A = this chain, B = another copy of it.
Amino acid sequence: SLTSGTQERVARANWPSRGETETGMSRLALSDTDKQARDWFVDTCESLGCEVTIDEMGNTFAVRPGLKDGPPTFAGSHLDTQPTGGRYDGILGVTAAVEMLRVLNDNWIETTYPVGVVNWTNEEGARFPISMVASGVWAGEIPLATAHNLQEVGGGTATMKSELQRIGYLGSKPATHKDIPMAAHFELHIEQGPILEAEHRKVGVVKGVQAYRWFTVTVSGRDCHTGTTSFAHRADAMLAASRMIVFSHRAASARGALASTGILTLKPGSTNTVPGLVKFSLDIRAPKDETVQEVEDACKQAFMNIANGINVAGLLEGGTESDRHCTVEWKTDSVSPAINFHHDCIQCVKDASEDLFAEKTENLTKIMVSGAGHDSVYTSKRVPTSMIFVPCRDGVSHNPAEYSTPEDCAIGAQVLMGAVLHYDRL
């Protein structure tokens, strides 16, 4: 069986390792450490006999020739992480794909058509705030200029283009599916949720991804003195933002959706000055596009009302609102519609699971929808796509405590390779 060697190598490959696998990873897209990981990826793939292409978005494609020419079947994911992320989110999908190359070589396996491995740029959207932006450009869904001009969060002036240039990953190949064709795209990923673990299942056969949208909400009030300004005279942007965040949670909750604020900045930032300006991010998700739209509409309306001191479902007290003279501005940063993956690819993942689990397949696998976005969302717009999930402890992700056992990682790698080989034979 390939499983035991693979298991060991995949566990080791969560690179760069600093001690045990249970600690986290901070490798923001296009940072110096991202460059290190990219260099490792390029060197390793070349040493395994692949030809490597880097496009204008820094997406890096490694191709292993097949018996015949034609678009390669790709396996891939991303090497960037959250500011305080884990060692599995994305990384597992790339390292397992590299492992696939090794196993094919070690076993002298020749595929009908080429197979490829891809590392997509800035999947997280943590540093440059559009997730999956580089696969989005490849798919023709996001303009190159939008992506290149995207500025890093936190007030820095670096753009994706300036950082691609700085670390030497601004490739010359046009970032488009037309110039870099694929037959199909498979992505192994940790589930990032608690379901597989809770149900003691080993593999998630991912049939689609839920919808989500990102917004930046700007609340403008007026700086004033906290000690001398009566509530009636205030335009308290922080109080307004607080009510908005509470409301967004309520609106999502009522519709089985999710709403989250991960970034918030205020000005001027002094204990005794009521803030006149607050900006915050809003991430809304739901299985259906219509539900996301409903939550968005409800928030838009309610945020306006909050800014104008109109009572919203018991959130305001009537009469003493300090935030009623605010204004609110609403910017859509990105839209990722609900996605259904391709029947053929889903079937290949099922087949590969069956190869491994035989009669236990039904108990050990689960057909499921992803809560998180993945580069597979964008590849699926252009080529048949599916994903494989493996369990992660407590469903924890975007956290240094993120963890999947070496056994589960190896099972995922095995199914990933199996799915690619099944597709190659189609």
Contact = CB atoms under 8 A, between A and B. Distances in A.
Q: What secondary structure prevails in chain A residues at the interface with B?
A: loop
A193 B268 contact: no
A126 B193 contact: no
A206 to B, nearest CB: 12
A5 interface: no
Contacts of A285: 226-227
Contacts of A249: 231, 236, 239, 322
B226 A272 contact: no
A231 B260 CA distance: 10
Q: Chain A interface: which size bin?
A: 35 or more
Interface in A365-417: 370-373, 395-399
B262 A238 contact: yes
Interface of A: 82-84, 124-126, 129, 131, 153-154, 191-194, 210, 212, 214, 222-231, 233, 236, 238-239, 241-243, 245-246, 249-250, 252-253, 258, 260-264, 266-276, 281, 283, 285, 314-315, 317, 320, 322, 333, 370-373, 395-399
The 6 closest A-B pairs by CB, nearest first: A228-B371, A226-B260, A242-B242, A192-B228, A193-B228, A242-B245
18 contacts: A82-B273, A83-B273, A84-B273, A124-B272, A126-B270, A224-B398, A225-B372, A225-B397, A225-B399, A228-B372, A231-B249, A236-B260, A238-B264, A249-B322, A262-B266, A262-B272, A262-B273, A263-B271
